[in-house]
Structures are given as C-alpha cells and as structure tokens.
C-alpha cells in the first residue's frame, strides 16, 4: 500500500496486526512505513491516523534517508566525505567534500592510524584538566551502545572507535567523562559537577552525541 503525504512524497506502508491496544509507526532502513495496529482497527481508520501523524512519520522517514546516504560516505572528525578510488595516489587525501584513496583497505588503515594518533593526543590534552589522575591505560574498540567505559579497578578507560567520526571536542568530552569516573564511580551530582569543571558545555555535548 502507498501513502502520499501532503508534500507529495509517496511512502510505501505495511500494516501488521497484533493483539495490542495502541497503534505504532516505524520507518525502517528500507524507507518503508510499518504500522503495528490492533486487530479490530479498520484500514480507513489506520489511514486517518497516518495522516494525523504525518509530521512525525516524515521526520522518521527523512532521518532514515539520511542514514542511508551516510552509508556511502566516509565520516571523519565531524565531516562527511564522498569516497573516490584512484590508483595513482600513495596516501589518503582530503579535498573539499571528497576523500581520495587508492583502495578501501588504505582508507581503513588510515582510519586506524588516526584513531591511535588523535585519541592519544586528546587524552594527553585532557589530562591537563586535572590536578591529579591515577596512572591509567587506555584502549579502543567498537561499542554499540556506549561511547566510553572506565574500569576503575583496572585503571583503564575504553573509547569507542566510532568517535573518530565525531567532532574532536566530543571526543574530549567522552575522555573527560571517563576520567572523572576515577573520582566518582556513578553519575551523581558530584560527578557532573566534576565534569562541568573540565568541560562546562557537557550538556550540549551529550545532546550532540545522541544526534
């Protein structure tokens, strides 16, 4: 089935009937609207509710559309670049909104090297925000749900490799956040007060990381 929005956009939708009382809308990666509706609700009633919730549905649609577009782009330090493969270059080069590389493997190696280099530089910079820090080690890994982890017992912080895609100041926020856990183990009022001393705009940073 197809729904035409007021702006002319045509969205394919599918109705999934379940034994629930409420109706739910979700736009998935295939840009299709999935409507989970009660068994007793008629198709006309569902269509009416789609129209009433059009603004929210369009927001979900465009958000998924942006995600699909980002899959084909290289994200690095808060910017998105179109990837161009060129056989005659020996190193990764950035020109305007394009990144040139000999192969995707070269780009992957470049990314890993930059993660190690930039993260270390920013950790050393963030150290200066504290008058005292215990001796600690750090490592990186991909994490689905967390930007960083602090293991106070082992004196080690772990940073998400995905932070290389974000603005550098957001990497700084995550580093400071995890370092503060050496002094406050949970997210108490005292913890956020400590974070604010080193990174006053931490609330804004948290919102940007969610975006």
Specify the pLDDT at position 116.
98
CA torsion through residues 76, 206, 150, 183, sign: positive
The whole-number pLDDT of residue 69 equals 65
Per-residue pLDDT at 29: 84
The predicted model gives 54-75 an average pLDDT of 86
Residue 35, pLDDT above cutoff 90 = yes
Which of 119, 185, 120, 118 is closest to 149 using CA atoms?
185
What's the whole-number mean pLDDT along residues 123-150?
A: 96
Query: Which of the four pLDDT bands, split at 50, 70 and 90, describes residue 167?
Result: very high
pLDDT of residue 211: 72
What's the rounded Cα separation, in Å, for the pair 187 and 44?
Answer: 48
Give the pLDDT mean for 27-35: 93
pTM over 0.85: no
**Residue 71: predicted pLDDT:** 65
Tens digits of residue pLDDT in 186-210: 999 999 999 999 999 999 999 999 8
Cβ-count burial of 130 within 10 angstroms (0-12 exposed, 13-18 middle, 19+ buried)? middle
The boundaries of every CATH 3.30.2010.10 domain in the chain are: 115-210
Give the sign of the dihedral formed by CA 119, CA 155, CA 170, CA 199.
Answer: negative
pLDDT at 190: 96
- CATH code for the part of the protein at 115-210: 3.30.2010.10
Check whether 26 has a pLDDT greater than 70.
Answer: yes
Question: What confidence tens digit (pLDDT) does each residue in 38-48 have?
Answer: 999 999 999 99
For 117-134, how does the pLDDT look when each residue is reduced to its tens digit (9 = 90+)? 999 999 999 999 999 999
Convert the pLDDT of each residue in 68-90 to its tens digit: 766 678 999 999 999 999 999 99
pLDDT of residue 89: 92
**Taking a C-beta distance cutoff of 8 angstroms, is the pair 100, 92 a contact?**
yes
Q: Strands, DSSP E only, in the chain?
A: 2-4, 10-18, 24-27, 33-38, 73-76, 79-85, 93-95, 98-101, 137-141, 148-151, 156-160
The Cα 72–Cα 69 span in angstroms is 6
185 near 152, Cβ under 8 Å? yes
The average pLDDT across 132-154 equals 96
């Amino acid at each position: 089935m197809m729904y035409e929005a007021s702006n002319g956009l045509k969205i394919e939708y599918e109705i999934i009937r379940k034994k629930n009382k409420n109706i739910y809308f979700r736009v998935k990666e295939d840009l299709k609207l999935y409507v989970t509706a009660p068994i007793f609700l008629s198709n006309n009633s569902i269509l009416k509710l789609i129209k009433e919730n059009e603004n929210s549905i369009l927001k979900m649609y465009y958000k998924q559309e942006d995600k699909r577009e980002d899959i084909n782009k290289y994200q690095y330090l808060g910017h998105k670049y179109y990837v161009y493969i060129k056989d005659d270059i020996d190193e990764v080069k950035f020109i305007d909104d394009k990144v040139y590389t000999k192969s995707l493997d070269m780009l992957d190696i470049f990314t890993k090297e930059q993660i190690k280099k930039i993260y270390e530089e920013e950790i050393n910079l963030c150290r200066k925000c504290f008058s005292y820090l215990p001796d600690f080690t750090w490592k990186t890994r991909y994490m689905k749900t967390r930007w960083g982890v602090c293991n106070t017992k082992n004196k080690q912080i772990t940073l998400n490799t995905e932070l290389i895609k974000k603005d550098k100041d957001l990497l700084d926020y995550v580093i400071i956040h995890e370092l503060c856990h050496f002094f406050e183990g949970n997210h108490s009022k005292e913890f956020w007060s400590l974070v604010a001393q080193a990174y006053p705009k931490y609330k804004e940073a948290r919102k940007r990381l969610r975006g």
